[in-house]
Copies of this chain bind each other. A is one copy, B any other.
Amino acid sequence: MTETLSDIGEFGLIDLIRGLLQKEQVHAPEVTLGIGDDAASFRPGRGRELLVTCDCMVEGSHYLPEHMNPSDLGRRAMVMNISDIGAMGGRPRYATVSLGLRPETGLADIKAMYRGFISELRPFKASIIGGNITKTEHSAFIDITLIGEVETGKIVRRSTARPGDRILVTGYPGQAAAGLRLLREGKTHDNLINHPLIAAFIRPSHRAVEGQIVAQKGYATSMIDISDGLLGDLGHICEQSNVGADIFQDRLPSNGHMKEYSLSQDKPIYHMALRNSDDYELIMTCLPENMEAIKSELASLADTPVTEIGRINDKPRDISLIRPDNSRYKLFPTGWDHFIGEMD
């Protein structure tokens, strides 16, 4: 018999999770009180600002259980939050995890999900210090709040890009969205689960270490992670910095898997790179003289691909695609809105 949440109840599950965390996660001396009291507590580091982000995944809206096992689900939910902290230049430290679960949820699945959370936090010596378990009758949800630290004054915002800045992007945005489409088309048998595009959706990267280094060195004028697509998030930078951008179509990064998918769909590859995306890559802007330093810093780190895709201009919210023949095509920076759908 598979043991479920309704067999041990909320208090039983809290004990189980506490035991698992005690045994398997990193214990930072700054955490003065973990799970088991009215609140958790920690001592903030001196000379640090604290960063707080929260992100939620709802079954049905953000994921389907048949597409993702509980461990990958846990990793993905934590990656989304780690990416947000990294995009400010911060180091992830303390997480609270709030779960909405159906009573028939298996305990093995819940443990696997926590191991997914922990595996993503461990490289940062970050830990889960609190949380909440709630009963739900319908869609399960995972809501994580992640607290990070950054040296005072080193935060990199969205609102500080300046005309003349170069625009850089890490990795190959567009892969995860293509992977999700493949999954939705029902192509979920074993060999496709290992398809690189599907893997990009199920087990996305984050670039938090890259974000920290660039912030620490003071190289970036602005930074954002890509969760609304390259164009959508570049739009957030332009809007909040009151600038525009020129994007060179032939510089947009793509790899073999994207090319293959683009051909199979008869869709231009630049469209894949610009639109919907859940790749959690970073967009950075920088002074021209800092571009090579960023590239070599990130290349030495983990061979992270970084591509210069364009430059910031002084026309507020005016984003243009510069075609290979140098003609301009105006782009409208809209992302995926769950309540409306794609807005363009």
On whether the beta carbons of A339 and B9 are closer than 8 Å, the reply is yes
Q: Which of A36-51 touch B at CB < 8 Å?
A: 36-44, 46, 48-51
- For residue A98, which residues in chain B have a CB less than 8 angstroms away from its CB? 54, 56, 98, 143, 145
On whether the beta carbons of B37 and A337 are closer than 8 Å, the reply is no
On whether the beta carbons of A41 and B37 are closer than 8 Å, the reply is no
Beta-carbon nearest neighbor of A211 in chain B: B38
- For residue A42, which residues in chain B have a CB less than 8 angstroms away from its CB? 49-50, 52
Q: How far is the CB of A7 from chain B (nearest CB, A)?
A: 9
Cross-interface CB contact of A37 among B32, B60, B158, B343, cutoff 8 Å:
B158
Q: Taking the complex as formed, is A94 at the interface, i.e. its CB lies under 8 A from any CB of chain B? A: yes
Stretch at the interface among A83-91, A111-119, A196-204: A83-91
Q: Taking the complex as formed, is A309 at the interface, i.e. its CB lies under 8 A from any CB of chain B? A: no
A249 to B312 Cα, complex, angstroms: 73
On whether the beta carbons of B39 and A53 are closer than 8 Å, the reply is yes
On whether the beta carbons of A150 and B339 are closer than 8 Å, the reply is no
Interface pairs (29), CB distance under 8 Å? A5-B339, A9-B340, A10-B339, A10-B340, A32-B49, A33-B155, A38-B84, A39-B85, A39-B87, A39-B148, A41-B50, A41-B51, A42-B52, A43-B50, A52-B94, A53-B130, A54-B96, A54-B132, A54-B145, A56-B100, A58-B100, A58-B134, A96-B145, A98-B98, A103-B339, A134-B141, A135-B339, A136-B139, A139-B139
A-B complex: 5 closest residue pairs judged by Cβ atoms: A138-B138, A39-B53, A135-B338, A44-B44, A145-B145
